[in-house]
Every structure is written in structure tokens, then in C-alpha cells.
Amino acid sequence: MTATTPRLKHEVKDLALAPLGRQRIEWAAREMPVLKQIRDRFAKEKPFAGLRIVACSHVTTETANLAITLKAGGADALLIASNPLSTQDDVAACLVTDYEIPVFAIKGEDNETYNRHVQIALDHRPNIIIDDGSDVVATVVQERKEQLSEIIGTTEETTTGIVRLRAMLNDGALPFPAMNINDADTKHFFDNRYGTGQSTLDGIIRSTNVLLAGKTTVVVGYGWCGKGTAMRARGLGANVIVTEIDPIKAIEAVMDGFRVMPMAEAAPLADLFVTVTGNKHVIRSEHFDVMKDGAIVCNSGHFDIEIDLKSLREKATEVKNVRPFTEEYRLPSGKSVVVLGEGRLINLAAAEGHPSAVMDMSFANQALGCEYLVKNKGKLEPGMYSIPREVDEEIARLKLQGMGIEIDSLTEEQIEYINSWTVGT
């Protein structure tokens, strides 16, 4: 340890990257006015004084602003990566050196390191767990039962984590309250749709530099993330096909003007495939077999399970890295399939994740979700809770204010009208 190395425990790539991280964190903060207001209030009120908060999140400039906000609120905060490929190493370094927040995250870390960091996070003995994918919660519940009584609750960021928490709840295995951050309108309407939409296309373009105009593009899944991805791909001139298993979402996609068909039919048609379903092996062996030569396949869902890469690896006669985050698998037929970002979420692997302006609202929900857990400590049964509607609306109001946009409010006459049922035609 040199004289300038902080004594704080950490595992980051290179502390010398901190100045660049600082510039980028401050740049992101410009687009995060809602979180800034919360941070200023937390600095005065210290809602987390004496509490340990562990955040397992993508270590980005936006997450840095959340961690700084929690610390301003008095938390003893520690941050680990929620994905081996999503860490921004300069950000991790800066949080350690400039903000004295312990960070355990290195871009490209292997699964063993990732799991070791989850254990380190639990060694911090958290009172609150901010999770993105539910790995920390699943681990504490299975392996550290003796710590459960210290945990006030968790906040979960992503659809995949919510599905996992619901499965735990249905199994009677969820021991504390869990705030469903994803459920807030100010989260999923914007982060999942516009955030995923823009950052996914950004990741595809940064890794391949392909022209999207005229490319037949299959978007697998038409949830909020799929809607955003399909919308932005169309905006760039792609000819978009949607595949779905949910009949209602499939109708939505049709009426939004997309072609909808089963993957078996779409597989031979497309130049580019993007998975955003949260489910396993939505692109698999039989699909690779019929793809066009040079078809590009990537994932923007939380876990790297959506593309059956094992089956592709087993078939391939050669695997070649052709650009950063871009690997070409040669098949016995002579055709190739190109996989981006090792099948991990391409928006964070090859680009910088969702832009700050949407993460502002997501992380405002996270910060206020943690405060809600503290304010209601001991009053909430184990289970899933949504951010209260008035908090969701307040975040939206603050966001509009930050954007310099004013809106109307109901007149007395309108309030009376919508509250009465006697007046008809």
C-alpha cells in the first residue's frame, strides 16, 4: 500500500483511473437533478445514520451518484458489481479514492471473483441490500441465515430480480420486506423502455459499427425493454420482427406495426437478434442452424442465459475475436454466427448502460425506497412492496421541474366533475 492508497478495503482495477472517473461521475450528475435534491435533503436529515447499506449494482457513473447519495444520508455504504462485464473501472477507482466508498468490482472479473464479492458484501453485515438481479438476497437467505435478523429489507431494481423474489415469496423463503423498485412508473416506463432502447442500440453500434438501416432485426420479447429496443431499432431504419410468448404483448407488437412470428420462422430471416426476455435459451441450437451467414446475436436481458451459447460453442469449428466484445463462431456448414458481449447485457458490456437522465428517476426510487424501509422498520411483514404512488408522482414532478417543463392542474370544476357520478349526457 503506498502513501496515497486509501486504507479502505477495495478491489478495483487501477486507482490511478480515479480522475477520469470523477469527471464522468460529475458529468452524469448534471442529468440527475432529482437524485441531487434527495442527496441535499439526506445530507441534512441523515436517514441512514448508523446503518450499513450494501449495493449490488452495475458500477457506472449513475450508480456512483446513488452511492454518494446514500453516504450523504449517513450510510456506511459498500458497492459490488451486479455483473462481471458492466463495471466502469474509472468509476470504481474514484469512489474508493475520492468518496471513501469501498468498491469490489473489476470489469471482466470471472464468476468466482463475482461470487467472492457477493460474500464480501455480506461480510459488511448489511442492514439494507440494494440488489440488481437478487444475487445478494438469494445468497444471504441460503447461506447466512444468522444475518437475517440484522436486515431491515431489500430494494430490487430489475424485472429479473423481481421474478426471482416472487419465486422466493411463493416458496415462503423471503424473510424480509422487498421494495419493488421496477414497479414504479417513474422506473419501468423510462429506464426499461427509453433507457434499454437507447443503450442497447448504443452497445450494438459501439461493438460492431453496423448500419441498422435496412437490417432485419429480431427483438425477442415485447416487455418494456423489448418495446424500447424495437422502437429505437425502427427509428434507425431497421426492419423489425418481434417474437413473443404472451398473446397480449404479441397483439401490442402487431398494433405497434411490427411483424410478429415464432422464432423458428424469424431465425432464417434476420441480420441481427436482440434478446430481452429474462428467460432461458430463447435463441438455441435449432435457431443457430438456420441463421444467415454472419447473423449477429446479442442479449440485453439481465443474465447471460437467454442465448444458448454452450450449444453454439459445441457446434463451432472455430471461435475468433473479431473486434472488442465481438466473437465470430464458425459452423461446420461454413456459415458463421457473431455473438456480442459474450451474451451478457450488451448495453453495459459494450456501452455505458442507460443514460443518466433515466437512471435519475430509477435511483431516486432506490434512494427513497431505502428511506421508506428505514421509516417503516419493524412495521412491514416479509413480502413485496411498491413505492407509494405519491412518491412516484413526486419523482415525476421533480423530474419535470429539472427539465423546465410545467404542466396544468385540475380546475375546481374538473375536480367536482370527476368526483361525481350523477351527471351523464
Q: 34 in helix, strand or coil?
A: helix
Question: Toward ligand ADE, which CB reaches closer, 338 or 359?
Answer: 359
Smallest distance from ligand ADE to CB 331, Å: 32
Question: Toward ligand ADE, which CB reaches closer, 263 or 345?
Answer: 345
Question: Toward ligand ADE, which CB reaches closer, 215 or 354?
Answer: 354
Smallest distance from ligand ADE to CB 363, Å: 8
Query: How many other CB atoms are there within 10 angstroms of residue 400's CB atom?
Result: 13
Smallest distance from ligand ADE to CB 199, Å: 6
Count the helices and strands in the chain (H runs, E runs): 18, 15
Smallest distance from ligand ADE to CB 65, Å: 9
Give strand pairing partners of 327: 321, 339
- Which residues have a Cβ under 8 Å from the Cβ of 15 and sit 6 or more positions away? 5, 6, 93, 96, 97
Give strand pairing partners of 273: 218, 297
Smallest distance from ligand ADE to CB 207, Å: 16
**Alpha-carbon 239 to chain mean position:** 26
* CA nearest to 124, candidates 80, 85, 86, 92: 80
Smallest distance from ligand ADE to CB 358, Å: 8
Smallest distance from ligand ADE to CB 354, Å: 3
- Cell 459488511 belongs to residue: 124
* CA nearest to 224, candidates 201, 250, 191, 266: 191
Query: In this structure, what C-alpha cell is assigned to residue 63?
Result: 450508480
Question: Toward ligand ADE, which CB reaches closer, 56 or 396?
Answer: 56
Residue whose C-beta lies closest to ligand ADE: 353
- Which residues have a Cβ under 8 Å from the Cβ of 272 and sit 6 or more positions away? 204, 210, 212, 215, 216, 217, 218, 238, 295, 296, 297, 298
Helix or strand holding residue 129 (H, E): strand 128-131
Question: Toward ligand ADE, which CB reaches closer, 288 or 303?
Answer: 303
Smallest distance from ligand ADE to CB 60, Å: 4
Smallest distance from ligand ADE to CB 46, Å: 25
CA distances from 349 to 21, 59, 134, 250 (A): 17, 11, 19, 29
CA distances from 183 to 153, 384, 385, 401 (A): 17, 10, 9, 23
* CA 332-218-232 angle, 5° bins: 135
Distance CA 45, CA 254 (A): 50
Smallest distance from ligand ADE to CB 343, Å: 17
Question: Toward ligand ADE, which CB reaches closer, 63 or 160?
Answer: 63
Question: Toward ligand ADE, which CB reaches closer, 225 or 230?
Answer: 225
Tell me 364's DSSP state: H
Question: Toward ligand ADE, which CB reaches closer, 22 or 354?
Answer: 354
Question: Toward ligand ADE, which CB reaches closer, 197 or 353?
Answer: 353
CA distances from 65 to 33, 55, 69, 95, 280 (A): 11, 12, 6, 10, 32
Strands 128-131 and 52-57 turn out to be parallel
Question: Toward ligand ADE, which CB reaches closer, 126 or 301?
Answer: 301
Smallest distance from ligand ADE to CB 25, Å: 12
Question: Toward ligand ADE, which CB reaches closer, 62 or 244?
Answer: 62
Interface ranges with ligand ADE (CB under 6 A): 57-58, 60, 62-63, 195, 348, 353-354, 359
